[in-house]
Amino acid sequence: MTNHWIDLKNSDCILIMGSNAAANHPISMKWVTKAKENGGKVISVDPRFTQTSAIADFYTALRSGTDIAFLGGMIKYILDNKKYHEDYVVNYTNASFIVGDKYDFSDGLFSGYDPKKRAYDKSLWSFKVDSKGIPEKDAKLANPRSVLQLLKKHYSRYTPEKVSEITGTPVEDLKTAYEMYASTGTKDRAGTIMYAMGWTQHTVGVQNIRAMSIIQLLLGNIGLPGGGVNALRGESNVQGSTDQAILFHIWPGYLKASVASLPTLDEYNKKFTPKVADPLAANWWQNYPKYSVSLLKSFFGDTATKENGFGYSWLPKLDDGQNCSWLNLFDSMYDGKIKGFFAWGQNPACSGANSNKVRKALGKLEWLVNVNIFDNETGSFWKGPGEDPKAIKTEVFMLPCAASVEKEGSIINSGRWNQWRYKACDPPGDAKPDGDIMIELMHEIKELYKKEGGKFPTPILNLKWDYVNDKGEFDAHKMAKELNGYFLADVEVQGQKFKKGDLVPSFAFLQADGTTSSANWLYCNSYTGKGNMMARRNKPDPTGLGLFSEWAWCWPVNRRVLYNRASVDLDGNPWNPKRPLIKWDGKAWVGDVPDGGWPPMSDKEKTKYPFIMKPEGFGYLFGPGLNDGPFPEHYEPLECPVPENAMSKQFINPTVKIFGGEMDKHFTCDPRYPIVGTTYRVTEHWQTGIMTRWQPWLIEAQPQVFVEMSEELAKLRGITNGEMVKVSSARGEVQCVAMVTTRFRPFKLGKLTVHQVGVPWCFGWVTPKEGGESANLLTPTVGDPNTMIPESKAFMVNVEKLKGGA
């Protein structure tokens, strides 16, 4: 979230799309309701009428996988009716930039496409720059090659009629939703978006969010209280686990994972430290070397020296372009190339798309380590449905760990609030905190390499691994301080003197010469000389906007709303004086921690542009960095119910990777699988249900997998509410209780009628015995070309009566 949960109350219009927040983030609705009480409106757009839709002022449906068409139509509406916030668009976005001559778009393809590689040459999409290297601009936004004019041209095709034909949303409903949301384009109003996996789990997932980001920039909603782009995180610390980079492509703090073509630290830093000609661009990533060197000092402690490149070459390097993300990981495991596997606090046998493939892959391992608080479908896969334990050679170690209340540490919520948790009791039996398991296991491995030697032992032996207390137990405070970072020598930085061993007060003090450590520069300022900032419980709220800046701590540097310098006009006055997030008092900013302390834009010498993380300093309407195009374009899901893409000849996203293995079957427009399928969650269960299916209260409330369908489809299939049915896809089947409701309705796509059903993915065979299986047995092995997040929200299924009953 650019903003945070309480800030929802400041919104004049909340679009909830790609999320059923009322069911999956229930307490968020407290603040949505406050917004309504303040006069704000709520729009719910969802294939199904959900609990969220029930509290909305306006609801309309769309077919799964057609969000870009819906949003593209809104962009067109905003531009055609000049609903955008012109001062904001001209001064804070790249609307005025001139795009280079090589950029083009025709019939679904951008320029530079190579069909063999299924990839674009993105260099063709760059901005035109002057002799100094600064982008050329047309502040009147009239140049036909300006971003705004190209945007207008691109979305001119997204007429309400065309959009309706794709989405199945009635034209009148489109107009109502567009008008309501576009009303936030005036400077005194703010609109926000709440989205979740309903937007990310698509082959156009990133572009769904890009489309909304374009809308938010046009309406001048980013940086404002009640505005922003708000991803609702589904796990209590998925923000933190992403920040700490348990992901193949990044290092902690969103630094890049190293690649083979960058053999030295100097080359690595040079590659990822952008150089920008415009002196008014803050270009925050110019600090990259300070963050990377401080990280390496946390990795390897005293053994990381200037002479050895701070141990840069000790960390593994990917081949250039190598992608080790989830779907590729399990593809490689299925091919027998992965021998050992840690599934730590995660249940891929139910959470992975195309779970049958995942389960088969587990059987090809030599050894599996499964760390969890409950038995689960991954650790026990060898005795699952249809498996013959005798034939499965995988050794399995099931390690019992501590639950959240049985250890101490911090988690960071969706609004980036990092909050400290205390230990309430010991874990049961032999169960141990995960931190202790890590410390002890790595200690064993270190000892083995010390004793026996082995391949490339340097990084193992040099890994700094002292996060323990006097008793040798894992010490969360010690690790939290390392995340913040230390001064490693007596130094003077920015006129302030620090002693070796002092905690670094904020990332502005980090150094690239090895005199500071910080395991994650974004967390620098979270545990300082003033103490554990994450444990704070003070509640002053001087702005009245609900920032609660002294409650816990948030990254970066306790800034509660990102890009907040876009919430003011050129003189530093809030666009809406009734919601003063920050304000320039002539000498300094008052309110939230500003996105940099430079004076407002009217001080043309000392200011910096507000979008400080973008190299040029402007919000990206034209986004040349993504793999599938600088503007979002509608493509059909890999599996879809229509014979062609009504928008262009390009049927599916041209840059997705097509997996062609025996278990990766996919069918489109196939009479055997004529119904759109989607997956979702229920309030009573969490993710695969592995923490909730073992709890009597919750399993009593929500005991069994179901398939939700319309009355029309049920009639067509002769299905009655409550009977057992079979839902099948090209990859698997799930037996479900039929839940026949009016919440799903058939979609009219031109002359075509299309049905959609939904199955929750929170069940699995381990428990309860009659609970049924995971909806991920149905979902396809295909991902977004930027993130590789699987397309679990739009695929094709069939639904049949189960002959002979359950």
Considering only residues 499 to 528 of the shown chain, the ones binding other proteins according to CB under 8 A are 519-520, 523
Place of tokens 């709303």: 561
What span, in angstroms and rounded, lies between the C-alpha atoms of 679 and 701?
19
| Residue 641 CA neighbour count, 13 Å, CB half | 30
CB of residue 43 vs other proteins: minimum separation in angstroms? 21
Among 190, 483, 533, 640, binds other proteins (CB under 8 A): 483
**What does 192-204 look like in DSSP terms, one character per residue?**
EEEE-HHHHSSTT
Query: Of these, 17, 75, 209, 476, which contacts other proteins (CB under 8 A)?
Result: 476
Q: How far is the CB of 158 from other proteins (least distance, A)?
A: 30
Q: Is 30 in the site for other proteins (CB under 8 A)?
A: yes
d(CA 13, CA 106) in angstroms, rounded, equals 35
Kindly report the length of the chain.
806
User: In whole angstroms, how close is the CB of 251 to other proteins at the nearest point?
Assistant: 8
Pick from 642, 640, 622, 643: nearest CA to 632:
622
- Nearer to other proteins by Cβ, of 557 and 802: the residue is 557
- Minimum CB–partner distance for residue 526 and other proteins (Å): 9
Instruction: Tell which positions 556-575 bind other proteins, by CB under 8 A.
Output: none
The site string for other proteins over 4-23 (x = CB under 8 A, - otherwise) reads -xx-----------------
103 or 686: CB nearest other proteins: 686
400 binds other proteins (CB under 8 A): yes
Q: Are strands 191-195 and 229-231 parallel, antiparallel or unpaired?
A: parallel
**86 near other proteins, judged by CB under 8 A:** no
x/- map, 623-662, other proteins, by CB under 8 A: ----------------------------------------
Q: Are 191 and 227 in contact (CB under 8 A)?
A: yes
Pairing of the two strands 417-421 and 491-493? unpaired
Planar angle of CA 33, 35, 37, nearest 5 degrees: 70
Q: Which is nearer to other proteins, 183 or 242 (CB)?
A: 242
Least distance from other proteins to the Cβ atom of residue 620, Å: 22
Could you tell me which residues come within 8 angstroms of residue 203 by beta carbon, excluding any fewer than 6 positions away?
635, 637, 638, 652, 653, 656, 782, 783, 784, 785, 791
d(CA 173, CA 29): 24
**546 lies in the binding site for other proteins (CB under 8 A):** yes
**Segment near other proteins (CB under 8 A); pick from 80-88, 487-495, 545-553, 569-577:** 545-553
- For other proteins, give the closer residue by CB, 113 or 449: 449
List binders of other proteins among 312-331 (CB under 8 A): 313-319, 322, 324-326, 329
Q: How far apart are CA 153 and CA 312, in angstroms?
A: 47
Contact between 42 and other proteins by CB under 8 A: the answer reads: no
Q: What angle do CA 779, 781, 783 make, to 5 degrees?
A: 105
Q: Which residues inside 335-354 make contact with other proteins, applying CB under 8 A?
A: 337-346, 348, 351-353
Of 65, 240, 572, 764, the residue at the interface with other proteins (CB under 8 A) is 240
For other proteins, which residue of 444, 513, 571, 800 counts as binding (CB under 8 A)?
A: 444
> 111 or 325: whose CB is closer to other proteins?
325
The pairing of strands 589-591 and 675-680 is: unpaired
* Binding of residue 549 to other proteins (CB under 8 A): no
CA atoms within 13 A on the CB side of 187: 15
Q: How far is the CB of 54 from other proteins (least distance, A)?
A: 16
Give residues 173-202 in contact with other proteins (rule: CB under 8 A): 201
88, 92, 288, 467: residue in contact with other proteins (rule CB under 8 A): 467
Least gap, CB of 659 to other proteins (angstroms): 15
DSSP string of 628-676, one letter each residue: T-SS----B-SS-SSSS-TT-S--B-TTPPPP-STT----SS-TTS-EE
CA-based radius of gyration for the chain: 27
Q: Which of residues 420-439 bind other proteins (CB under 8 A)?
A: 421-435, 437-439
In the chain, the amino acid numbered 306 is K
CB 305 within 8 A of CB 341: no
- Could you say which of 281, 396, 642, 714 contacts other proteins (CB under 8 A)? 396
Binding mask 270-309 for other proteins (x = CB under 8 A): -----------------------------x----------
Q: Which stretch binds other proteins (CB under 8 A): 61-69, 214-222, 444-452, 704-712?
A: 444-452
Helix (H) or strand (E) holding 460: helix 458-462
Q: Does 454 bind other proteins (CB under 8 A)?
A: yes
Min CB(285)–other proteins separation in Å: 21
> Quick one: 357 or 685, whose CB is closer to other proteins?
685
Looking at beta carbons only, is 462 or 567 nearer to other proteins?
A: 462
- Contact window for other proteins (CB under 8 A) among 73-81, 213-221, 236-244, 609-617: 236-244
CB of 459 to other proteins, least distance (A): 4
Measured from the CB atom, the residue of 173 and 684 that comes closer to other proteins is 684
Task: Tell me if 268 contacts other proteins by CB under 8 A.
Answer: no
Interface with other proteins in residues 355-394 (CB under 8 A): 366-367, 369, 371-375, 379, 382-383, 389-394
- The 695-724 contact track toward other proteins, x by CB under 8 A, reads xxxx--x-----------------------
Select 25 or 137, whichever has its Cβ closest to other proteins: 25
Structure-block tokens of residue 570:
């050129």
Beta carbon of residue 327, minimum distance to other proteins (angstroms, whole number): 8
Token pair recorded at residue 490: 């007596």
* 142 binds other proteins, rule: CB under 8 A: no
E strand or H helix that includes residue 13: strand 13-17
Within 677-696, the residues that bind other proteins by CB under 8 A are: 683-687, 691-692, 694-696
The 3-state DSSP composition of the chain as helix, strand, coil percent (nearest 5) reads 30, 20, 50
Residues 738-767 that bind other proteins (CB under 8 A): 767
Kindly tell me which of 79 and 396 has the beta carbon lying closer to other proteins. Answer: 396
Q: Give the binding-site size for other proteins (rule: CB under 8 A).
A: 168
For residue 114, CA distances in Å to 118, 634, 637, 645, 673 come to 6, 19, 21, 20, 31
One of 54, 139, 142, 448 touching other proteins (CB under 8 A):
448
198's tokens = 């309903």
Half-sphere exposure at residue 30, Cβ-oriented, CA atoms within 13 angstroms: 8
Taking CB under 8 A as the criterion, the residue among 409, 629, 637, 677 binding other proteins is 409
- On the CB side of 19, how many CA atoms lie within 13 Å of its CA? 25
Contact 354, 444 (CB under 8 A): no
- Our CA angle for 789, 69, 634, nearest 5°, is 55
CB of 563 to other proteins, least distance (A): 20
Numbers of helices and strands, H then E, in the chain: 21, 31
Identify the helix (H) or strand (E) that includes residue 342: strand 340-344
Q: What is the phi-psi region of residue 429: left when phi exceeds 0, alpha when psi lies from -120 to 50, beta otherwise? A: left
CA dist., res. 458 & res. 469, Å (int): 25
Which residue in 109, 124, 398, 493 binds other proteins (CB under 8 A)? 398
* Segment lying near other proteins (by CB under 8 A), choices 46-54, 170-178, 229-237, 630-638: 229-237
Contact 455, 310 (CB under 8 A): no
Closest approach, Cβ 245 to other proteins, in A, equals 6
